[in-house]
Amino acid sequence: MKKLVVLLIVCFVVVLTSQADDKKQSEKQPEYYPKLAISEHHKLLQGGIGEWKFTQKMWGNPDEEPMTATGTSVCKPILGGRGTIVFVESSSEVAGTFQGFGVFTWNSKEEKYECSWVDVYSYYGIDSMEGTHDPKTNTTTWTSTMKDPTTGAEMAVSMVETYPNEDTMISTFYMHIGQNKIKTMQNTYTRIKKDNKETKETAPKKE
């Protein structure tokens, strides 16, 4: 009987000690991982969550009339709001069907937005972009480099996003050749459905 009492006391002490350690660890966690929390930068990305339709203009030559296309875009939250995944599909008489998707997040360590993008024209695999946001003008600028599919030469490219209102976004794409900034494409998005819930398809799977 005495042995049983002693054993129960030992177990009780172990449980209390474990709970105390867990509490200390919980209290220390914000200190160790302050940048894992959802920040205003993550929330900026979440502003794009929902379903969108868009019209597209593409210029092969700046002096000519643009080719046009229409499409849809779906933006969903992932990883508890720490990123978004965007699916895009469009069609035109000239280019046919276009499909692509990208993953967007905020790099807390280097303090910049990042995106990995792949589509049906990704000849050289996954494209990476880095972004900055100017709160004064409410403009997000993404920069990257790409290889010319005809020559293989590297060139600088950029995408500038502006937000006339909560449910409208304009994305303008540029190629940078020397000192020249050439507009190549512009998408005007209109939100048709807003959904702030993480979906089963994009939520992390529980083991």
Which of 7-16, 47-56, 57-66 is the most confident on average?
47-56
Please state, in angstroms and rounded to a whole number, the distance separating the CA atoms of residues 127 and 174.
15
Q: Quick count: other Cβ atoms within 10 Å of Cβ 170?
A: 14
What predicted TM-score, i.e. pTM, was given to this entire model?
0.74
Which residues have a Cβ under 8 Å from the Cβ of 85 and sit 6 or more positions away? 75, 76, 78, 101, 102, 103, 104, 202
Residues 20 and 92 in one domain: no
Choose among 55, 130, 64: nearest CA to 90.
Answer: 55
pLDDT grade for 186, boundaries at 50, 70 and 90:
very high
Residues 99 and 159 in one domain: yes
Are 164 and 65 part of one and the same domain?
A: yes
- The answer to whether residue 80 sits within a structural domain is yes
Residue 8 lies in a domain: yes
Q: Are residues 18 and 66 in the same domain?
A: no
SS3 174: strand
Residue 6, in any domain of the structure? yes
Residue 206 resides in a domain? no
pLDDT value, residue 150 = 67
Sign (positive or negative) of CA dihedral 32, 38, 39, 41: positive
Planar angle of CA 56, 59, 61, nearest 5 degrees: 170
Quote the CA–CA distance of 37 and 49 in Å, as a whole number: 19
Query: What is the number of structural domains in the chain?
Result: 2
Per residue in 92-137, pLDDT (tens digit) is 877 789 999 999 999 998 999 999 999 998 877 899 999 999 999 9
Percent of the chain with pLDDT over 70: 76
Contact 101, 87 (CB under 8 A): yes
Rounded-to-integer distance, Cα 57 and Cα 70, Å: 9
Range(s) of the domain holding residue 170: 40-193
Q: At 183, which CATH number?
A: 2.40.128.20
Condensed to tens digits (0 to 9), the pLDDT of residues 57-69 reads: 999 887 889 999 9
